[in-house]
Structure 1
Amino acid sequence: MFEAPESFAGVPHGMPGPGCRAAILGIPFDCGTHPFRVGARQGPTEVRRQSRLVPRHHPSLADCDIPARLGLVDCGNVALVPGRIEDALPLIEAAAGAVLDAGAVPIGIGGDGSVSLPLMRAAAKRHPGLVALHVDSHTDAYPYAPEAPYNAATQFTHAAEEGLLAPGLSWHLGVRGFASVAGVLPQAGSLGFRVVTTEDLLRRGFAQAVAEFRDAAADRPVYLCWDMDVFDPSVAPGVCTPTWGGLTAREGIALMRTLTGLNIVAMDFNTVSPPQDVQGMAAHLCAHMIMEALMLLP
């Protein structure tokens, strides 16, 4: 008569236990301050729904049940109120901390980009020397007004200022397009981030760029942040801040597959905004990218 809420790829609900190496954590939150696109709070539900379309085996890369290999569980959604930013951040951090303390890699499904900050706070407390690989069309390291410090474009500013990340080793990868204020690239550089634009990434090649990041990161713990607007709006229309000239689906998958060998301790996928999506395209692609990311975990 009753049916359990949908989980990612049909994995069991619950908190990580023995043998569980990764856990899905839904974060149904957006700041509610975007001038045109509010709706990323609905992202976790729609990504889970679209995950039905992503099979759990990859015959040529991992011919096994990928979630089962990791003992993947779905912890459900963090209980919070979208738009109440300063209330939500500690709740998200605590939820991620519980997953990390259980010995599992939290895989956050946002939500807008602001959710990355509390997830990085939780990871940094448990993994000193954390570095970030931020795949996004924006740096999200913008300056902020003291009276309104938190939004979906300042999370990496706070991460740097709070000392969450090892200095000089974190990258913004795939940055492109127009910005709402001047000086965003120098601002990111002043905070210790390296910025690799989409044009530079495509010119150099994914393997070469990531190899350089891997060498710099060495064996340090890595936080992987994947903003879905790194993709071109033609393949991921339902994102908070679409920017033309992005990666194709094939290019994004190829980039993800170069990330082997990194010591990934936490990750998130963010900015899927279902009210602006078309036939669930961005959510479906996000679910696929999460499955690709699961193959990176040992």
Structure 2
Amino acid sequence: MFPNDIEHLTSHRSFMNVPTRRGANEAPALACVIGIPFDCGTHPFRVGSREGPDAIRRQSHLLRPFFVDAAGAHANAVDFLRLIDLGNVNCHPGEIEKSYPLIESAIDAIIAASAVPISMGGDGAVTLPQLRAVAKHHPDFVVLHIDAHTDTYAIEGFNTATTFTRAAEEKLLDVERSFHVGARGTTFMDGVLGFGRSLGYNVIPFSEFDADPRACIERIRQRIGTRPVYLCFDMDIFDPSCAPGVCTPEWGGLNAKEGLALLRALAGLNFVAFDVNTVSPAQDIGETTAFLAATVMHECCALAAQTPRLAATRHAS
């Protein structure tokens, strides 16, 4: 079934012009890009992150495969990973009951083929079905959620505000070793940080991270250890001055240099899945946010290449 025959995918121009399949006589892909063009369609005036994957792909063609400063990693992580782009899940925007099984099935197939999924949304609601797929293969996994919002609210239903509430209720992950990092700005209800903590999550608000990033990263590393890690990276962690095209912008976030440095500081964790979401092209300026998201995804490729199990394949080859 994998990698060329996953159901419910649409055709596309690939991320960074990587191949869309591996040949019959070629070694299999170690990682796969996949687009998830879904949003709930319920935001009062910022609907459009369903268009995020295509915008990210367009801007990815500005990227080149070699890192000038590989920081001990592969200079060309894309080549090492034998990266392919599987296209977009054929979602039904606004229809969770139809879309979630399709998303879960696609991510499940990638992981079953021993590859790392690197997905691009879509709004924050696309994360829950991906967590369900990861849980089938890594029952002890943890989440590292980097976002201006916790997406862990004490409300009913399935939407961008309840992704990690439902994940905790479904016991998909080890909440006590999982982190929400970066919450800031305003929200529509009180007590969201406390509620996240009451479910067992480690919550590091932006003010705490900003005061001492190095100490926070060390705390994350110590707590997570060698556990399988799902990295959920919401583009609104960046300040709107460098990432205006997001669903729910909040002033006072990371600049591009700081955000990319944060990603590089996570090298060596046992990543098993990556999820970059919330690019909303309708509100973007010159596809600046899409270009930054493509760069984040390229950094995720570098992180995947540095996971201990994949680094071992480099030494064995």
TM-score by length of 1: 0.95
Cα displacement (A) at 1:118: 0.6
Percent pairwise identity: 49
1:87 corresponds to: 98
| Aligned counterparts of 1:257 and 1:30: Cα–Cα separation in 2 | 29
Contact 1:14/1:76 (CA < 8 Å) preserved in 2? Answer: no
| Aligned counterparts of 1:191 and 1:15: Cα–Cα separation in 2 | 42
1:190 corresponds to: 198
Q: After the TM superposition, which residues 67-216 of structure 1 pair with which residues of structure 2 at under 5 Å, given as runs?
A: 67-145=78-156, 149-205=157-213, 207-216=214-223
Q: After the TM superposition, which residues 251-262 of structure 1 pair with which residues of structure 2 at under 5 Å, given as runs?
A: 251-262=258-269
1:83–1:15 Cα change, 3 Å:
farther
Please give the secondary structure, in 1, of the residue aligned with 2:42: coil
What residue identity is the alignment partner of 2:150? T
Contact 1:15/1:75 (CA < 8 Å) preserved in 2? Answer: no
| Aligned counterparts of 2:264 and 2:115: Cα–Cα separation in 1 | 21
Moved over 4 A (4+): none
2:275 corresponds to: 268
Cα displacement (A) at 1:210: 1.6
What residue identity is the alignment partner of 1:241? T
| Aligned counterparts of 1:76 and 1:167: Cα–Cα separation in 2 | 31
Q: Deviations over 1:119-146 (max 9, x none)?
A: 111001100111000000000001223x
| Aligned counterparts of 2:251 and 2:22: Cα–Cα separation in 1 | 39
Residue segments in structure 2 that go unaligned for 5+ positions in a row? 1-10, 306-317
1:246 corresponds to: 253
| Aligned counterparts of 1:34 and 1:264: Cα–Cα separation in 2 | 31
| Aligned counterparts of 1:15 and 1:77: Cα–Cα separation in 2 | 17
In the alignment of these two chains, the number of paired residues is 291
Residue segments in structure 1 that go unaligned for 5+ positions in a row? none
Mapped pair 1:41 → 2:50 = yes
TM-score by length of 2: 0.89
1:133–1:12 Cα change, 3 Å:
same
Q: Deviations over 1:167-205 (max 9, x none)?
A: 311110111011111111111011111111111111112
Mapped pair 1:278 → 2:280 = no
What residue identity is the alignment partner of 2:63? V
Please give the secondary structure, in 1, of the residue aligned with 2:61: helix
Please give the secondary structure, in 2, of the residue aligned with 1:296: helix
Contact 1:112/1:240 (CA < 8 Å) preserved in 2? Answer: yes
Give the root-mean-square deviation of aligned CA atoms.
1.4
Contact 2:118/2:300 (CA < 8 Å) preserved in 1? Answer: no
1:58 corresponds to: 67
| Aligned counterparts of 1:99 and 1:63: Cα–Cα separation in 2 | 23
